[in-house]
Structure 1
């Protein structure tokens, strides 16, 4: 092996090692980096218009774009998280005083008419009690998980604040130096320009489609569900609205897992009018939002199969937490487009390419 080849291989090893160490160094800030990049992608068309109006003042354009992100996205989400944390704590206290989730289930069972109770007993009272215990246990664990998250936010206030400020700092410089960062990244990636451009375009498209087609639709469904609960006087409207938004993100599940049991509870406890309103509004309005708004917001942008969206969303949540709502589907989409490029290259490769000089094992 000549000296030049040894130098190249040694440099490649050093480059990989240093890059790996740098990625480990940034690991605590992955969430801030990811969300700063996501917001920069979403607001990039607006920023380009601002930059076109003030080409001599790119810093001011970046600052205005940052303030727009704050007012439109970040401040409302921050207020929602604070309200949600307070509501989770209060709801957990109310549930504990009334006997937990099991207490609600017992009140439903006590309100069931005698003829229905006899019918249930013929089906198997022991099996129904077992189901009730499992539902109560699962709901209690979910509520305790939310409570732990809410308390964790309060306990890690300094860490959350640092991540938030870092995200804003990065977002400003993504707006300011976005074009240069893209050029450097494209020139540094050892891949054909056409493939790099296709991957970048796919990344941007999937981020926009995920935000507009999933998060926005889910947020509208959750907001409508929370508003319905607030109007009807149902405790915890913000909490249940967030839960409905979360469930709306998962294909084949949806917000009905919240409003349907609430409607059954209202009907069983004598609030027939409220129960019918929840059913009518849930099925007629909340249930149709996805079919009506998603085609408008997403348009002809890419859509992955529902099963892949479900798997990638759940996997993203397990790996990255709340960031996985977007990171999971984005990774899945990049996986698909990378394999599409590989298959196209394989099909277009000339016959006998592996027999050319320098391509063999020797």
Structure 2
């Protein structure tokens, strides 16, 4: 029969093996589960209020909030896709009709001054005759117009992997809303930590994740407003569309809102407005580009209750280490570490007093009248033990 120590070691190995296998099972959905947990923690208060208004219908409240998340993701993406496809199709039709009526020279005459000069130089170097060139361009535009629209649709729409992760996230979000409380209670019941410590870490997770998520959305709003101001000053066509595109791309750290302003600057330059293009380039780089590095840490630190510099480096460090999801993981890791340190200091403390702590009364202190008591060495421990005087009536 195996000894108790051997059985404990085997059981520990089985636990580690099960954790490893569990990680392999969860790994394909890890990012989806993480984002679902962040959204559930952020909107849990709203879920509770909505459940009370619906007279305790927990599943109905979870379904409404999950549907709201779906609409918040799909409506902007669908509108952006439809607009880009429409613009590409109309542009292809315009080029085809212009070449049919006026030829390539008529199309070149419609270009802005700097671009028109470059196009004229290219046309003069082409050995092809004008009639053949017109027919070639017309055929290419007609043939590639539909292909370009499909390519834009495929580029903007979610790929299969992203769509799969989004579906898994929404399913997990629904169950986090409906069974999140029982999940937290179960985790606390099996946790080896003291009672209340696990729930405290969960509250820290909820506070930080909500602060980071809301600060990201708020920062995207501030950046889009700053970009809109620049578009209005430079008189960019369709400024509201470009501002909406800036808001959408501001939520993607690898892209950002500044690239939309720089794109508008390029369009203004090629349309014959170099000073407006220069203004937009400076505005996008200085104002729109730096807002993200200033506003987001200021807003996120309210939920994290940490110094702005800590939040700033947690955001950048998480982004560098884990990619886009690191904007949430970085602050959460820092907050998790600080929560553990706080719990350790509060619940366990230190064995020895630190500088500034009240001194413990000892021999020769005011507790014994200032007298130094004699001591003897203990035979059992080898330490000096104070020799306590025997009271007179003890005999």
Q: Distance in 2 between matches of 1:255 and 1:161?
A: 23
Q: Distance in 1 between matches of 2:158 and 2:177?
A: 32
**Which among 154, 173, 176 is matched to residue 174 of structure 1?**
176
Q: RMSD of the alignment, in Å? A: 4.8
Q: How many residues align?
A: 290
Q: Distance in 1 between matches of 2:236 and 2:27?
A: 45
Q: 1:60-90: CA deviations, max 9, x gaps?
A: 222222223333x333454377579979x99
Q: Distance in 1 between matches of 2:78 and 2:244?
A: 13
Q: 1:152-197: CA deviations, max 9, x gaps?
A: 776943x433322222222111111111011011112211234323
Structure 1 gap segments, 5+ residues each: 91-106, 111-147, 353-362
Q: Is the 8 A contact 1:37 1:174 kept in 2?
A: yes
* Distance change (3 Å), C-alpha of 1:217 and 1:156: closer
* Distance change (3 Å), C-alpha of 1:288 and 1:336: same
Q: Is the 8 A contact 1:222 1:241 kept in 2?
A: yes
Name the structure 2 match of 1:307.
Answer: 313
Q: Distance in 2 between matches of 1:325 and 1:7?
A: 43
Q: Is the 8 A contact 2:219 2:295 kept in 1?
A: no
Q: Is the 8 A contact 2:37 2:176 kept in 1?
A: yes
Q: Distance in 1 between matches of 2:65 and 2:81?
A: 25
Name the structure 1 match of 2:53.
Answer: 53
Name the structure 2 match of 1:69.
Answer: 69
Q: Distance in 2 between matches of 1:192 and 1:66?
A: 34
Q: Distance in 2 between matches of 1:20 and 1:35?
A: 22
Q: Distance in 2 between matches of 1:307 and 1:349?
A: 30
Q: 1:74-119: CA deviations, max 9, x gaps?
A: 33454377579979x99xxxxxxxxxxxxxxxx89x9xxxxxxxxx
Q: Is the 8 A contact 1:203 1:330 kept in 2?
A: yes
Q: 1:229-285: CA deviations, max 9, x gaps?
A: 5961399947972697268x69xxx86687579769968975324644775698678
Q: Distance in 1 between matches of 2:60 and 2:231?
A: 43
* Distance change (3 Å), C-alpha of 1:155 and 1:232: closer
Q: Distance in 2 between matches of 1:180 and 1:13?
A: 28
The higher relative CO (CA closer than 8 Å, separation ≥ 6) is in: 1
Name the structure 1 match of 2:23.
Answer: 23
Structure 2 gap segments, 5+ residues each: 90-113, 118-150, 354-395
Q: Distance in 1 between matches of 2:248 and 2:61?
A: 37
Matches within 5 A, 1:1-362: 3-71=3-71, 73-76=72-75, 78-79=77-78, 82=81, 156-157=159-160, 159-222=161-224, 224-225=226-227, 228-229=230-231, 232-233=236-237, 237=242, 241=246, 245=250, 259=261, 270-273=273-276, 275-276=278-279, 299=302, 301-303=304-306, 305=309, 306-317=312-323, 322-342=324-344, 348-351=349-352
Q: TM-score, normalised by structure 2?
A: 0.56
* Distance change (3 Å), C-alpha of 1:46 and 1:242: closer
Q: Is the 8 A contact 2:220 2:247 kept in 1?
A: no
Name the structure 1 match of 2:102.
Answer: none
Q: Is the 8 A contact 2:207 2:304 kept in 1?
A: yes
* Distance change (3 Å), C-alpha of 1:77 and 1:280: closer
Structure with greater helix share of residues: 1
Q: Is the 8 A contact 1:256 1:282 kept in 2?
A: yes
